[in-house]
Amino acid sequence: MGFAGKKKNKITKPLLWFVLIAVAVIQIFPLVWLVDFSLASSTEMFTNGLLVIPEKIQWGNYAKAFADGNFLLYLKNSILINGLAVVLVILVSIMAAFACRRMRWKLSGFVKTLLLMGMMIPIHATLLPNYKIYSQLGLTDTVWALLIPYVAFSLPQGLFLMTSFMESIPVELEEAAVMDGCGIYRIIFQIITPMLKSSIATVAIMTFLNNWNEFMMASTYLSSEKWKTLPFSVLEFTGEYSSNYAVQFAVMALTAAPAVIVYIILNKHITKGAAMGAVKG
């Protein structure tokens, strides 16, 4: 048995490595490609090869992206809006998950289903009605015009993940806490929340990545520069028929960078959470 297992290991391990490396290359290549083309000139863009070797590295593309693309203002807006959205989604989804899973009240099941139904509503269907509502409330072109839909559309997913994670936390823990005289808010924020770390990381990444590149709602609900987000930066270099591709690539590379960084930071928690769950069974 031991022998067979070892032999199997010898074959499967390199195979596993091979598959994993292949997947990694496929995943990372677009990023490499993006950075590569962002350093080339517009005319070098369309060669036959997969990658170009720029004749002269065009740092100017990045300089242009910063100067003409309103990059810093849009970056600030993007970080602010996405940061707030992530915090709000996590806060509300933890509280809602606790209320629907752990507290006993008549409509708990119904409210949970109602909130989860939000997942089925396509964003495009809500675009124009929401515009009308915002415009009548005077919310268009304010930070709320983006914050409200971003939170609303990310909430069902967050709630879904939080409730399923919460189920794996033993109720006895809460009972013990209550016995020691713990109030409801302390139970949620001091007992439950620390145990939800990995699901909080997952929800944060999903919310952040979903909203980071969102453009449809942003372009409809905003009109002045004040709250525009990063995807608008790409637009500044879009001509009527053809565009300045090289600078657009530079803008996209700069736009992708924070998302990649956030992913790398939080990624550890996701894998950790998954691994821990697997061992504990």
Segment near other proteins (CB under 8 A); pick from 4-12, 127-135, 191-199, 205-213? 127-135
Residue 245 interacts with other proteins (CB under 8 A): yes or no = yes
- Closest CB to other proteins among residues 142, 213: 142
Q: Helix-strand-coil percent breakdown of the chain, rounded to 5?
A: 80, 0, 20
Size of the site for other proteins (CB under 8 A): 37
What mask of x and - would describe binding to other proteins in positions 40 to 79, judged by CB under 8 A?
-xxx-xxx--------------------x-----------
Contacts 24+ apart (CB under 8 A), 32-41: 34/249, 34/252, 34/253, 34/256, 35/253, 37/245, 37/246, 37/249, 38/62, 38/246, 38/249, 38/250, 38/252, 38/253, 39/250, 40/246, 41/246
Residue 235 interacts with other proteins (CB under 8 A): yes or no = yes
Residue 237 interacts with other proteins (CB under 8 A): yes or no = yes
**What are the tokens at 4?**
């067979």
Question: Residue 254 and residue 258: Cα distance in Å, rounded?
Answer: 8
Distance in Å, CB of 200 to other proteins, minimum:
23
Residue 13 CA, distance from chain mean position = 32
Residue 215 interacts with other proteins (CB under 8 A): yes or no = yes
Distance in Å, CB of 260 to other proteins, minimum:
25
Distance in Å, CB of 39 to other proteins, minimum:
16
The answer to whether 99 and 108 have CB atoms below 8 angstroms apart is yes
CB atoms within 10 A of CB 215: 13
| One residue of 54, 80, 131, 213 binding other proteins per CB under 8 A | 131
- Closest CB to other proteins among residues 153, 221: 221
Question: Residue 130 and residue 140: Cα distance in Å, rounded?
Answer: 10
Residues forming contacts to other proteins in the complex (CB under 8 A) are: 41-43, 45-47, 68, 127-128, 131-132, 135-142, 144, 215-216, 219-220, 223-224, 235-245
